[in-house]
Structure formats: structure tokens, C-alpha cells
Amino acid sequence: MTEIAARTFTTLWGELGTVGRDPHTGGYHRSVWSDADLELREWFDHQAQQRGLDLHVDGNGNQYAWWGDPADGPAVLTGSHLDSVPDGGAYDGPLGVVAAFAAIDAMREQGVRPARPVVVAAFADEEGARFGVPCTGSRLLTGSLSPSDALALRDRDGRQLAEVLTRRGRDPQALGARPDLLRRIGCFVELHVEQGRGLVDLDAAVGVASMIWPHGRWRFDFRGRADHAGTTRMSDRADPMLTYAMTVLAANKQARATDARATFGRVSATPGATNAVPSAVTGWLDARAGQDAELTALVETITRQAAERAERDGTSLEVTAESLTPSVHLDAALSGRLVEMLGDSGGVVPVLPTAAGHDAGVLSAAGVPTGMLFVRNPTGVSHSPAEHAELDDCLAGVEALVRVLTHLAHP
């Protein structure tokens, strides 16, 4: 690993370490258009300016730092996202952006002069933590999310994206697909911390992604009858919290039975009084499976069982699909080249599927030849302050990215 790449990586990593960090948990709160997000956007701009890269934004909140003339395209795109889930880890997203800048520094030190532009992207709102839809930046860019649908999204305070953008001095009318920009991109390689233990079990620092599981988010609205927690006999209740709880149990059981994933990680109760049976409970299901048909069957089963339980409890149920991402098989030719490029430094290069969603999946679905590099995560834990990757493995990821970008930028 070149000295400068290691220095760049550790310097940039240190600069990001405090942005949006909760001093009590060590987790990060970097939701889109938050103060922390704006600080990260300024940091990205500064990194680009420091390196003489041309800064570009696409109206959707995505940032791009261009090394080279777009006319010499098609460009090799890399990068990832800087936003996080609430109380998230440090690596999910930022690792891919910091590694990209470190890779450019290393390439320059090695005298590499790319024949094609190399572009670092920071995609907006990959986690969908604030407005509920993941990858809004890359979905708007590719046209898989319409500006009107995006602008109508509301955060937990009821604020619409349109209003938040305006408050942040951004033009809501600037949102929209950018086929002109996509045409300039020849391929996209996203480096990301692995969110699982595949590389640990295979004793490899870096791997290549093969596919992204289908996944989605469904809002379950349970409605019942508000009542007194003390004077209402259990048999006289229409308690939506009971129906919700049984639904969570049913979802967990169904996912275990089919080796899928079903998570209710977010719930709200109305009115939320300790001494009152709630009138309504809303739970959000994140469901994923190895194949599209399996995911469809999983959600259908959970929905049916929830409806049956509601019938029994005298409550009602409404299920709304909030986002659905079909399975994505990443570009086989590009992924094969990634394995070759990394394989010639010796050692086997694992090729792994992932159940985590990524902007890479959105660009791939839009027809951009896309590949992913994974960096070993010793515990596999992610979306948690405990998320971690060893510095040596991060630098191995940078080295892999240098190799890949150098190769792809010299057709």
C-alpha cells in the first residue's frame, strides 16, 4: 500500500470521525439534509477542491468529483454514500467515498494518467432514514423515483422533502432523471464494507459482489379502539398493539422458516399513553429474501397472518408498500474482470451475494455496468455503532480500488 494512500485514508477518516457522532453511543446520525449531512457535503466539496477535481451536482443532491474531462468518457464512476441510519456505524457508505479519494491520491503518486475520467460520487440519502425510501438520490438520478413522489415524502415531523430542500436553499424543481449524466458513465464500481461475515469466514480482506437480494419496506397500520388500561377487561379490547405484536412474532417465524429476513425495527403507537389501550399502532416491515418470488411469498404470508390476527382481535389492518427493490445481478463481465484484476495479486477473490441494498443496485438496474468491492467486516455487524473494519483491510480495499480504477480507466 502506498504511503500517500494510507496517509490520505487515515487523515480523511479522522476528519469524518466526529461528524454527526453521538458521544454516548458512538453511533452516527447523518440523515439527509441534516446539519451533519451538510457538514459532510462541505467535506466532500473540500476534498474535491483540494485535489483539483471538478465538482458537479445533479439536482438530486448527489455530488460528483471529476478527475478528467467528461469529453474523454465514458467515465469510471466510484464512491458510495455519506448518510447513515440513525445511530449507525462509521463504515457503511463513508468507507467507499474515503477509499475513492485515497485511491486517486495513490494513482497520482504512481503517475497514473487515466485515459478516461475517474469520478467520485457521494449519493444522497442511500439509507432512506429520514423520508423512508432508500437510495432516493440514485433513484432520482436514474428515473426510478419520480420528483413528484420524492417531493411528497414526509419525515417523522411531517415535513415534506420539498419544504426541507427549500429550507436548505436547494431548488425542489431541480430534482429529476439525468440521462445525460448517465450516458457519460461507462461503469460504476462501489467499494463498501461487507455487512456480513462472508469475508471473515473465507479469510479474505476484499471480495467482489455477485448480486443484491430483493428487499423492500412495508408500512403496517393497525387500528383498534382506544380505551382505559385499567377499567377495560382484556376480553373487551380491540388492541392494535396485540395484533402488531403477534404480527412481529409471525414475521420472525416465517423468515426463520425460509432463511429470509423480516424486521420490524420501527413502531409508533397512538396516543402512546402508558395507561391507555392505543387506538392505532404503525409498524414498518423491512423484508428481504434470496429471490424475488421468495420475497413476494414472504410478505404475502406475513400480511395474511396479520389480517387473520386482526380479525380475531377486532382490529383492522392496512398494509402499504413504501419501497421495493427487485433482485439485482451485478454485471457479470465487469465482476469477472474485478476478480481477475484482484486475483493476480495472489489469493482467491471471494464472490459473494449481499442482502444489503446499495446505490450500485440502482445504477445496475438502470443499465450502468456495475460492480462492487467488499471490505472485510470482522464481526459482520452493521447499522450499529459496533460496525468496524480493520485499517489494514480498509487499505487493502484502497489498493484493490487503485488496481481496478487504473485498469478500467485504461481501456
190 binds, options ligand HGY, Mn ion, none, Cβ within 5 to 8 A by partner type: none
Q: How many residues of this chain interact with ligand HGY, rule: CB under 6 A? A: 5
C-alpha R_g of the chain? 22
Report which of 406, 356, 347, 362 is spatially closest to residue 377, judged by C-alpha positions.
Answer: 356
CA dihedral for 371, 377, 381, 383, sign (positive or negative): negative
Q: What is the per-residue DSSP string for 147-211? A: HHHHHH-B-TTS-BHHHHHHHTT--GGG-S--HHHHHTEEEEEEEEE-SSSHHHHTT-SEEEEEE
The one-character DSSP state at 216 is E
**Which residue's Cβ lies closest to Mn ion?**
92
Instruction: Compose the 303-342 pattern: x for residues touching ligand HGY by CB under 6 A, - for all others.
Output: ----------------------------------------
Using the rule CB under 6 A, is 134 a contact of ligand HGY? Answer: yes
Indicate the residue among 134 and 397 with the shorter CB distance to ligand HGY: 134
x-or-dash string of contact with Mn ion, 90-109, rule CB under 5 A: --xx----------------
Measured from the CB atom, the residue of 107 and 208 that comes closer to Mn ion is: 208
Figure out which of the listed residues 79, 278, 357, 397 binds ligand HGY, where binding follows CB under 6 A. 357
Using rule CB under 6 A, residue 359 touches ligand HGY? no
Q: Which stretch binds ligand HGY (CB under 6 A): 113-121, 126-134, 292-300, 310-318?
A: 126-134
Residues 371, 212 contacting (CB under 8 angstroms): no
Among 58, 83, 105, 127, binds ligand HGY (CB under 6 A): 127
Q: Give the footprint of Mn ion on residues 74-93 (CB under 5 A).
A: 92-93
Assess contact for 204 and 350: CB atoms under 8 A.
yes
CB-nearer residue toward Mn ion: 36 or 280: 36
Q: How many CB atoms lie within 10 A of CB 197?
A: 14
* Residue 212 interacts with ligand HGY (CB under 6 A): yes or no: no
Q: Does 356 bind ligand HGY (CB under 6 A)?
A: yes
Q: Which does 330 bind (CB under 5 to 8 A by kind): ligand HGY, Mn ion, none?
A: none
Q: Considering the complex, what minimum distance in angstroms separates the CB of residue 166 from ligand HGY?
A: 26
Among residues 91 and 222, whose Cβ is nearest to ligand HGY? 91
In whole angstroms, give the CA distance from residue 136 to residue 326. Answer: 15
Output 179 or 378, the one with its CB closest to Mn ion: 378
List the interface residues with ligand HGY, window 248-277 (CB under 6 A): none
Nine cell digits for residue 91: 463504515
Q: Which three cell numbers stand for residue 64?
A: 460528483
Of 63 and 136, which CB lies nearer to ligand HGY in the complex structure? 136
Q: Pick what 93 binds: Mn ion, ligand HGY, none; C-beta below 5 to 8 Å, kind-dependent.
A: Mn ion
HSE-up (13 A, CA, CB side) for residue 28:
31
Please, which residue, 70 or 353, has the CB nearer to Mn ion?
353
Between CA 299 and CA 295 the distance in angstroms is 6
Among 126, 194, 331, 387, interactor with ligand HGY by CB under 6 A: 126
d(CA 285, CA 216): 8
Query: Which is closer to Mn ion, CB of 172 or CB of 385?
Result: 385
Element (H, E) at 399: helix 391-408
Q: Which of 379, 323, 372 is nearest to 352 (CA)?
A: 372
Q: Does 82 bind ligand HGY (CB under 6 A)?
A: no
**CB nearer ligand HGY, residue 170 or residue 192:** 192
CB 375 within 8 A of CB 195: no
Q: Are 32 and 129 in contact (CB under 8 A)?
A: yes
Binding region for ligand HGY (CB under 6 A): 126-127, 134, 356-357
